[in-house]
Structure 1
Amino acid sequence: MKLSYEWLNEFLDLSEITPHELGEKMSRTGIEVDSVEIPGEGMKKIVVGKAFAVEPHPDSDHLNIVQVEVGEEEPIQIVCGAPNIAAGQKIIVAMHGSRIAGGHKIKRGKLRGVPSNGMICSLQELGISESLVPKEYEDGIYVFEDEAVEVGSSAIEALGLDSAIVELDITANRADALSMRGSVHEIAAIYGLEHNLGADVFEAGESNTIPEFVTVNVENNEDAPAYHAQIIKNVTVKPSPQWMQNRLMAAGIRPINNIVDITNYVLIEFGQPLHAFDYDKLNSKEILVRRATEGETITTLDEVERTLTDEIVITDGQKPIALAGVMGGFDTEISKETTTVLLESAVFNPVAIRTAAATHNLRSESSSRFEKGINLSTILQAGKRAAELMVELADGELVPAVASVQTLTNEEPVVSIRLSRLNHVLGTKLSVEEVTRIFAQLGFDCDFNDDLFTVTIPLRRWDISIEADLVEEVGRIYGYDRLPQTMPTTESTQGGLTPKQRFVRWTRQFMQGAGLSQAYSYALTTPEKSHWFTMENHESIRLDLPMSEDRSELRQSLLPSLLEAVQYNVNRKQSDVRLFEVGKIFSIQNDEYVEQEVIGAAITGNVLNKTWQTAAESVDFFMMKGILEAYFAQMACLDQIRFEALTDMEQLHPGQSALIYLNDEVIGFVGQVHPLVQKDLDLKQTFVFELALEPLLAINSKQREVHTVAKFPGMSRDIALLVPTSVSNDELVTIIKANGGKYLQSVTLFDVYQGDKVEDGFKSLAYSLQFLNREATLQEEDVTKAMSKITEELQSVEKLVIR
């Protein structure tokens, strides 16, 4: 809603209040102000001129030489290329040295050898949107039709561009401010000002007939609780006076002609949508409001034929002539030949209007107001105001009767609140007199008796119906900034993170330190992908009403979602992607919904890029395994972790995948994505892992032992083994640790060899074993004894040879 400050001043004395102060005050009292601007600010030396001579340019087929009176002693000469320039027109003239919209400066010059001392302007060149320019002036200069506009006067003032425009962002609950009258009530209440608005007058109407002219009928009173029709005859359709055009353009509405402009003017003034029909184009003397039948059609004012289903329509007894509350029909539009007008003022079912507007993608000033609600006490009053203006500005003759069908009654709601309750909620100590004054500023009648306010709410404030609404009204008019500040009286507890939150935070920090970026992915995926990367065959959880099959089931693993994110980045030329996520997975187990938190990661591309001194290094299985080992080492549980080959998960490479055990419990897996899946996703080698959070949280919560630096020296022994390639490193390390005795501290694989001098099907592994006695000097025989037992047990492995 755009408020013209000049128009507001017609109802209120705002001489002591600047537009920006008003905008700030309204924002602080509940109606947000988007902007306050003066359209003509910065423009100067732009006057109303009159073209008294127009001659073709001798060296151009589209330019004209125009002699223009501008209120000075001598006329000036301007070369103009507008197609609609003609002698006798009152026009907008930008003088030498003037500034137009955008800060552009106009100077004297020559156009094809002919001097030009200014510019004749269109409205667009003064910053007015093309959508607001009257259609006849869209492609040319603007012409003042109003005789009251004087030559030599400021064109900025003549167009009302010197008046500020306050643009409101109206929420659905304050649709009462979608009119000048509603906004005036609001501003008067905020500042405690007197206004000169006439009272709202509820009129029910009498008969449904205007003798000899029209009869009105409504098929369903719930669709149209009130419908009034008036007849204005002998009208002359012509441009509106300049003041009306200015106010309409300031409100964001394009001027059309005096009849249509009057309906739009009253729409802005009262917030009451109206529609004018050309009476002579009706096929009968009956107006019937009904629901459309399936397949019925209407051509609306935008010249689009629309097929109807069940919308409310206005008919002439035979066919639809308007889509009720949304847009009129093309066949009965007002034109220059119109002499008799049928003027409609009504209220329609808001749900039906919103449905019709959405169905036909037609959002109009009328539909937006019907959807949010209108002032039910001024329906006919607004119609009569428009009829009076048509008599005044279109030289019409009003037929006295009104044809009406109305079931509405003038029942103003009554809401009560106790003063003690009001003060308790606001935290104030307002007196009876202060609250009574606030209600008076709002225009609410109230009685006070025994701590109880009984407030009668005018129909123009249909947003107020309960006690809380009165609290809000008193609070905002009193001033939210004046409400006392109090500390909460509830008990408080010391803040902090839970052990789980601390562990998750630490996990995220570790993964980021390892070079991975945190991702937040969709929990919903496709029915197929919801079973990817699962170690057990659980039933997935499906949405009852999914928006699409791509997001129809909850994931049972983080990896499908992470691979989507990797694919998204790779498709956008980000070849090196390293992502992790801590999130939830979902499944049905034993007929119960189960949520589990897991840690997942997906990496593709290079871990090291090529430089002048290093070669590029791509991610591989051992790089992923190394990240996990470092992660477990930080939790001091690496000695409880083991990896076992995994060959039966369809989405993982059977030769580069492993289950991860924490003691004897499987807590996750690591491996390369299966080549067929990589091909399907158009990815290069991609590696993933997924870990269950709860077991890791449990092991991380255990108290850790901290040892001082050993005082005694340790010993190391190396052992080299020739083993079949089917024997894993993890099997051998397990045997070594199990038989290494209490002094064995660590086992490190430092060499792997296959090739020359090593039989096919075999590999050479070399391990370094570290021994340490923390309480005394380690004896040679203790180490020798441990190595003998290790050697003995290793020899039990089939085809193993100790080198």
Structure 2
Amino acid sequence: MFVSYKWLQEYVDLSGVTPVELAEKITKSGIEVEGVEVLNEGIKGVVVGHVLEREQHPNADKLNKCLVDTGTGEPVQIICGAANVDKGQKVAVATVGAVLPGNFKIKRAKLRGEESNGMICSLQELGIESKLIAKEYSEGIYVFPNDVEVGQDAIEQLNRDDQVLELGLTPNRSDCLSMLGVAYEVAAILGREVKLPEPQVETSSEKASDYIDVQVEAKEDNPLYVAKVVKNVIVAPSPVWLQARLMSAGIRPHNNVVDITNYILLEYGQPLHAFDYDRLGSKQILVRKACDGEVIVTLDDAKRELTSDHLLITNGTEPIALAGVMGGANSEVQPDTKNVLIESAYFKGATVRKASKDHGLRSEASARFEKGVDPNRVRAAAERAVQLLAQYAGGEVLEGSVEADALQVEPAVVSVTLEKINRVLGTELSMKEVEDIFARLQFETNTDNDTITVTVPTRRGDITIEEDLIEEVGRLFGYDNLASTLPIGSSTPGHLTQYQNKRRLVRRYLEGAGLFQAVTYSLTNEAKAAQYALEERKPVQLAMPMSEDRSLLRLSIVPQLLEVLKYNSARQIDSLAVYETGAVFLSNGEEELPEEREHLAGAVTGLWHSHPWQGEKKPVDFYAVKGILEGLFDKLGLSDKAEFRQAQKDGMHPGRTAEVLLSGESVGFVGQIHPTVEKELDLKETYAFELSLKAILEEEVSPLQYEAIPRFPSITRDIALVVDKGTAAGALEGIIKEAGGKLLKDVHVFDLYEGERMEPGKKSIAFSLKYFDPERTLTDEDVTKAHDNVLDAVKEKAGAVLRG
């Protein structure tokens, strides 16, 4: 809401309060003032001039040589390029030495050989936005009415010596969408009186009821409709002051009839509409719901198809307006209009909002109906409008109004105790102080001991409960005056849960390992929904999907990460590692909500290391990705519980895929994407993993135990075992660890041989075993005994023999 300081002074005495000070006071009382615009900022030296002579420039077809009286003595010659400049006009003249917006200084000049001593200005050149200027002056210079005195300050005559406050209103404060509403607010803040307009209209002997009949079928959507008739109006430009007020509020002037309805909208917050009475086509106004498929041509000449949700103003048969939104082109006020029907009505906000949204027509009027207008201003606004039409359009107001009134509205009555006000605000206010605050707001009150009962005016529809009254007391008492206090009582400081801490640890580790975090859609299509799922269930179908590609909830994150790699690879980023922690959705049947489980997934492609200076390039492989997971398990203290076992999985390479187990339970997989899938996605060799993050983070971790650095030497023994080709190295490693006892501290594979001199179906796997005792130096006998146990165990359990 844009509020003119000069206009506001008509309703409230603002003496002693500058616009900037007023803005600060309004902000501190709860309504933010987003800015104060000085309309004449940077402008000086612009006066009203009288064009005494105009002739064609001798050396330019599009320039005029004008002799202008500026009220300072001898007339001056000014060269003007405006097509509408002419003899006898009163115009705005920037004299030599004047300054226009943008620090544009006016100097004497010669234009095509002719001297120019100033500049005849358009409204745009005086800092007014083009969209706010009346069409007749949107091109060319501005022409004042003839009664303006030459030599006067042109900016003052244009009412631009003003400042405008921009209020940032929240939806509940629709009462301040009018100048009167702001006046009530400012008067309460300053402790001053509100001066309301008092329309006094002389009416003719003819009655409005003889000219129009009003019927409302949709009483719930339109409980009150008031019509007034004004005859013999003269459609002309509005007075300068009225145009200036509209422009300062962001509304473009049109003509005196339309401008007066817009003026009342700003003054009272009550939207009005003016119909050309002679173009109605009947003597009836019928308000009804539209029929499905019914069509209306609105003022913007757009043909709009209606539904039964929309409310129409009709002449009994044909639509003439879309209620609360826009009038119809068939009843528009035009230059030859003589008789006017003024509509002032109370429309249901939800109905107007529906029509406004459906047709993309959000206007100043619809915005006010949507947020709520004061039902007790409907009639007053109509009276004020016809008063101005009589005054500035020469209209003859017919006696009385024609109404359809089914409105039942009572002011809200709310009670609150003084004890609660003081307890909530932390104040020690007396009942007299509270009564004074409500008196400043012009709320009627009744006090009974410690309880105050407030009758809330209908203009303040936002006040319905006792907390609203407390807020009014608090903001007008002054938020700055409320004491600062600390909360009383015990409180527990916020902290992350153990699960959340571990999840952050996982993210930090993976990013430290060189993976970028990705955030992908949880929605996917039927082809990808079940790919790479850790647990197979029927995908969950959305009831109203935005597209077929986003119609199912995912069971796995890997397909989305592969799409990320594909997208980047197509843009020459072919070495990339990404991960995501996110939810997958497991169906519990059609009648139950799906179960959400948090998973961790990653995908890596291209080069894992690239050091061109050293000539080193290392493509990603299975062991690089497996090493990432091993490091993660070690970081979480789960390395002794984690195990990798060769596995087969759809969409994964059959020989480079492993199942990941934790305490013997499967929690995910790691491996290479199947070459056919890589080819479909146009990817290089790509490796991926997906784990149940919930299972990993909820796994119990053994307490941290420290061991002393060994003071005694260790003994290493290497063995090469010949086993069947189908025997997994991991299985052998497990047997060795179990048989080695407490002296065996480390086991790892260092060689695999399947070449010549190896019998068919066999392979040789070499292990390095490290023995030591932290308490003493081991003897050969100690190691031999433990080592023999290992050899016996691998022979017995895996059929392994030492390679000769």
> Considering the TM-score relative to the shorter chain, is it more than 0.5?
yes
Q: Which is further off, 254-263 or 155-164?
A: 155-164
Q: Is it true that 1:633 corresponds to 2:653 in the alignment?
A: no
Q: Check 1:111–1:769 CA distance in 2 against 1; reply closer, same or farther (3 A cut).
A: farther
Sequence identity of aligned pairs in percent?
Answer: 47
Q: Which amino acid aligns with 1:244?
A: L
Which residue is 1:578 aligned to?
Answer: 577
Q: State whether residues 89 and 146 of structure 2, in contact with CA within 8 Å, keep that contact through their aligned partners in structure 1.
A: no
Which residue is 1:345 aligned to?
Answer: 344
- What SS does structure 1 have at the residue aligned with 2:773? coil
From 269, 272, 275, give the equivalent of 1:271: 269
For residues 348-359 of structure 1, the aligned pairs below 5 Å read 348-359=347-358
Q: Is it true that 1:668 corresponds to 2:668 in the alignment?
A: yes
Q: Check 1:789–1:270 CA distance in 2 against 1; reply closer, same or farther (3 A cut).
A: same
Which residue is 1:309 aligned to?
Answer: 307
For residues 60-139 of structure 1, the aligned pairs below 5 Å read 60-139=60-139
Which residue is 1:599 aligned to?
Answer: 600
1:164 positional shift: 1.0
- Distance of 1:317 and 1:496 partners within structure 2: 68
1:316 positional shift: 1.8
For residues 354-433 of structure 1, the aligned pairs below 5 Å read 354-409=353-408, 411-433=410-432
Q: State whether residues 214 and 284 of structure 2, in contact with CA within 8 Å, keep that contact through their aligned partners in structure 1.
A: yes
- What SS does structure 1 have at the residue aligned with 2:399? coil
Q: Is it true that 1:612 corresponds to 2:613 in the alignment?
A: yes
1:549-601 per-residue CA deviation (whole Å, 9 max, x = no partner) reads 44444333333444454455555654443333333333136988533333222
Q: Check 1:139–1:607 CA distance in 2 against 1; reply closer, same or farther (3 A cut).
A: farther
- Distance of 1:75 and 1:801 partners within structure 2: 121
- Distance of 2:147 and 2:537 partners within structure 1: 83
Q: Is it true that 1:687 corresponds to 2:691 in the alignment?
A: no
Which residue is 1:255 aligned to?
Answer: 253
1:688-722 per-residue CA deviation (whole Å, 9 max, x = no partner) reads 22223354345553213211011110022334467
Q: State whether residues 600 and 688 of structure 1, in contact with CA within 8 Å, keep that contact through their aligned partners in structure 2.
A: yes
Q: Is it true that 1:280 corresponds to 2:286 in the alignment?
A: no
- Distance of 1:199 and 1:417 partners within structure 2: 35
Which residue is 2:509 aligned to?
Answer: 510
Q: Check 1:738–1:392 CA distance in 2 against 1; reply closer, same or farther (3 A cut).
A: same
- Distance of 2:138 and 2:799 partners within structure 1: 94
1:440 positional shift: 0.3
- What SS does structure 2 have at the residue aligned with 1:267? helix
Q: Is it true that 1:177 corresponds to 2:173 in the alignment?
A: no
For residues 197-236 of structure 1, the aligned pairs below 5 Å read 197-198=196-197, 210-236=208-234
Q: Is it true that 1:715 corresponds to 2:715 in the alignment?
A: yes
Q: Which amino acid aligns with 2:88?
A: G
Q: Which is further off, 171-180 or 751-760?
A: 751-760
1:752 positional shift: 5.5
- What SS does structure 2 have at the residue aligned with 1:623? helix
Q: Which is further off, 159-168 or 520-529?
A: 520-529
- Distance of 1:615 and 1:404 partners within structure 2: 90
- Distance of 2:233 and 2:179 partners within structure 1: 27
Which residue is 2:433 aligned to?
Answer: 434
Q: Check 1:609–1:47 CA distance in 2 against 1; reply closer, same or farther (3 A cut).
A: farther
1:490 positional shift: 2.6
For residues 488-499 of structure 1, the aligned pairs below 5 Å read 488-493=487-492, 495-499=494-498
Which residue is 2:533 aligned to?
Answer: 534
Q: Which is further off, 639-648 or 705-714?
A: 639-648
Q: Which is further off, 298-307 or 109-118?
A: 109-118
Q: Check 1:391–1:497 CA distance in 2 against 1; reply closer, same or farther (3 A cut).
A: closer
Q: Which amino acid aligns with 2:643?
A: R
1:261-300 per-residue CA deviation (whole Å, 9 max, x = no partner) reads 0110011000111111111212112122222222222211
- Distance of 1:142 and 1:20 partners within structure 2: 31
Which residue is 1:241 aligned to?
Answer: 239
- Distance of 1:669 and 1:338 partners within structure 2: 81
- Distance of 2:387 and 2:54 partners within structure 1: 40
Which residue is 2:705 aligned to?
Answer: 705
- What SS does structure 1 have at the residue aligned with 2:192? coil
Which residue is 2:160 aligned to?
Answer: 161
Q: Which amino acid aligns with 1:618?
A: P
- What SS does structure 2 have at the residue aligned with 1:533? coil
Query: Structure 1 regions of 5+ residues with no counterpart?
Result: none
- Distance of 1:565 and 1:574 partners within structure 2: 11
- Distance of 1:577 and 1:569 partners within structure 2: 8
- What SS does structure 2 have at the residue aligned with 1:644? strand
1:700-747 per-residue CA deviation (whole Å, 9 max, x = no partner) reads 532132110111100223344677765544234334333434322212
1:786 positional shift: 4.3
1:609-654 per-residue CA deviation (whole Å, 9 max, x = no partner) reads 4533343433322211111112223344434332112212x23232
Which residue is 1:450 aligned to?
Answer: 449
Q: Which is further off, 219-228 or 375-384?
A: 219-228
Q: Check 1:200–1:795 CA distance in 2 against 1; reply closer, same or farther (3 A cut).
A: farther
1:389 positional shift: 0.6
1:761-794 per-residue CA deviation (whole Å, 9 max, x = no partner) reads 9877544322212222122233344445545655
1:407 positional shift: 1.8
Q: Check 1:433–1:672 CA distance in 2 against 1; reply closer, same or farther (3 A cut).
A: same
Q: State whether residues 637 and 701 of structure 2, in contact with CA within 8 Å, keep that contact through their aligned partners in structure 1.
A: no
1:76-131 per-residue CA deviation (whole Å, 9 max, x = no partner) reads 33333333333333333333443323333444434444443443333223332222
Q: State whether residues 209 and 216 of structure 1, in contact with CA within 8 Å, keep that contact through their aligned partners in structure 2.
A: no
Q: Check 1:697–1:120 CA distance in 2 against 1; reply closer, same or farther (3 A cut).
A: same
Q: Check 1:632–1:472 CA distance in 2 against 1; reply closer, same or farther (3 A cut).
A: same
1:519-538 per-residue CA deviation (whole Å, 9 max, x = no partner) reads 44444433443322223322
Q: State whether residues 283 and 318 of structure 1, in contact with CA within 8 Å, keep that contact through their aligned partners in structure 2.
A: no
1:429-461 per-residue CA deviation (whole Å, 9 max, x = no partner) reads 211100110110000011111222121111211
- What SS does structure 2 have at the residue aligned with 1:701? coil
For residues 16-55 of structure 1, the aligned pairs below 5 Å read 16-55=16-55
Q: State whether residues 344 and 378 of structure 2, in contact with CA within 8 Å, keep that contact through their aligned partners in structure 1.
A: yes
CA RMSD of aligned residues (A): 3.0
Q: Which is further off, 545-554 or 532-541?
A: 545-554
Q: Which amino acid aligns with 1:626?
A: G
Q: Which amino acid aligns with 1:469?
A: D
Q: Check 1:200–1:789 CA distance in 2 against 1; reply closer, same or farther (3 A cut).
A: farther
1:17 positional shift: 1.8
Q: State whether residues 199 and 387 of structure 2, in contact with CA within 8 Å, keep that contact through their aligned partners in structure 1.
A: no
Which residue is 1:13 aligned to?
Answer: 13
Q: Which amino acid aligns with 1:613?
A: Q
1:415 positional shift: 1.7
| Number of equivalenced pairs | 796
Which residue is 2:484 aligned to?
Answer: 485
- Distance of 1:746 and 1:200 partners within structure 2: 100
- Distance of 2:94 and 2:148 partners within structure 1: 16
Q: State whether residues 199 and 384 of structure 2, in contact with CA within 8 Å, keep that contact through their aligned partners in structure 1.
A: no
Q: State whether residues 230 and 402 of structure 1, in contact with CA within 8 Å, keep that contact through their aligned partners in structure 2.
A: yes
Q: Is it true that 1:737 corresponds to 2:737 in the alignment?
A: yes
- Distance of 1:745 and 1:140 partners within structure 2: 95
- Distance of 1:722 and 1:150 partners within structure 2: 116
1:360 positional shift: 1.0
1:137 positional shift: 1.9
Which residue is 1:189 aligned to?
Answer: 188
Q: Which amino acid aligns with 1:647?
A: Q
1:240 positional shift: 0.6
Q: State whether residues 764 and 803 of structure 2, in contact with CA within 8 Å, keep that contact through their aligned partners in structure 1.
A: no
- Distance of 2:647 and 2:721 partners within structure 1: 24
- Distance of 1:732 and 1:704 partners within structure 2: 28
1:469-511 per-residue CA deviation (whole Å, 9 max, x = no partner) reads 2112112111222222332223223554433233223222222
Q: State whether residues 279 and 340 of structure 1, in contact with CA within 8 Å, keep that contact through their aligned partners in structure 2.
A: yes
1:302 positional shift: 0.8
